[in-house]
Every structure is written in structure tokens, then in C-alpha cells.
Amino acid sequence: MNYSIGFDVYGTLVDPVDMGQHLENLIGDKASEFGQLWHDKKVEYAFRRGLMQQYVDFTVCTHQALQYCLNVYQLSLSSTEQQQLMARFAELSAFDDVIPGLMALSTQGHQLAAFSNGPEGSVRKLMNNAQVLQHLHHVISVDDLHTYKPNPDVYQYLMRRMHADMNSCMMVSSNPWDVIGAKSAGLQAVWVKRSQSKIFDPWEIQPDLIVSDLCELAAALKR
């Protein structure tokens, strides 16, 4: 069976925590810790704004999360320096399995889309810089609806944009909350468990499939 597959971007196709030397220059050996807090906080801010129905695009959530982290670590950056650091998000690298995995899935006949909380223009730039864009058929952003995952409306929107139904549309994400959101909206969903230390939320909703990377997903769908 051929699927219409929506891929979460940050954490599934690219690593949002890995800002490498950019964060190391800022905070030294606490760079990874800073990066994880920054990622977690921007997702939290999107959740909260979605619940409050006070939408701003994801760039604002990211910037406010950065300011929070700077306060936590008692660091000071000028507005220009903050914007320069924010711009590095367009330079994140794809995980090693992403391009070969997408190529295999496309060869199998599946329709592939980046499906993100981020604005479409930002996601396209990121995917292009990471050399992933050419392997996708669509880039779809929740910004079109002015709300965020895991609102069920966004998963319904994914199906409409990809001209798919619940049986043929699949969400692929490394974020358990995204998988649960897609499943609760009626889609099929795959959890990409990128680390053995990751634990899926102990809810009544479970993924249809668990894989370690996109190559494993392609192999599973080929069978």
C-alpha cells in the first residue's frame, strides 16, 4: 500500500538540539544542556499558545524560548546576536538516515511531506540547506491554520493537503506527543525512537510502528 506520509521536522528530520559550535561558543560545555532546554521550551510555548488560542508563528516561540534560556544561564546577548543565533536553525543538518530513507520511501511510491509547526518559508529554507527538500513532494505548515500540533485540526489539514484519508495518511515523528496527537485524530502514526533512552508516554494511545530511523521505516513498509 502507498501512503501519504507527513514527517515532523525538528527532531525527526533534523536535530534541533545540535547547534554545535554556535552554542559551544556561547556557553561552553553546557551547550547540549542549553540546546535541549531551548528546544523543550519553544515546544512548551507553542502548546501553551495553542491552548490559549493566542497564536504567533513558531519563530516567535523560538525567540522567546531563547530569551528564557539566556535568563536561566544568566547570559546576555544583543538583539543582533540573538537573531544571528536564531538564524543558525536554518543550517541544521539532517540525520544520516534521512536522505537514504526518504529516497527509499519515494521509490516505493509513497508521497512525502515535511509537516511542521514552523512557518513554511523557514522550513523550506532549512530543508533546502540540509539537502532534503528535493526528496520531498510537499512542505506543509500548521501556520496556515494559526494553531499548533497536537490540535486535531492540523492533522486533518495534513490529510486534506495530501488528498489522503485516515487509512492512507501516516504521521512520522520522534516526538511521542506528536504521534499521540496524530493517532487521536485518526491517522496512522510511527514513532522514530532516535535514542534507546527515550520513553513513550504511558497513555492509552500507542504508535502503529516503532522504528529507529527512516531506513528502518522504508524496510518495514516494503514488506
Query: Residue 202 phi/psi, 5° resolution?
Result: -80, 60
How many other C-beta atoms are found inside a 10 Å radius of the C-beta of residue 24? Answer: 15
Identify the burial level of 76 via C-beta atoms within 10 angstroms of its C-beta, where 0-12 means exposed, 13-18 middle and 19 or more buried: exposed
Instruction: Answer yes or no: are the C-beta atoms of 157 and 151 closer than 8 Å.
Output: no
What are 166's three cell numbers? 485516515
CA-based radius of gyration for the chain: 17
How is 95-161 classified by DSSP, letter by letter? PTTHHHHHHHHHHTT-EEEEEESS-HHHHHHHHHHTT-GGG-SEEEEGGGTT--TT-HHHHHHHHHH
Would residue 8 show up in a list of annotated catalytic residues for this protein?
Answer: yes
Question: Distance between alpha carbon 103 and the CA centroid of its chain, in Å?
Answer: 19
What are 31's three cell numbers? 551547550
d(CA 140, CA 158): 7
List active site positions: 8
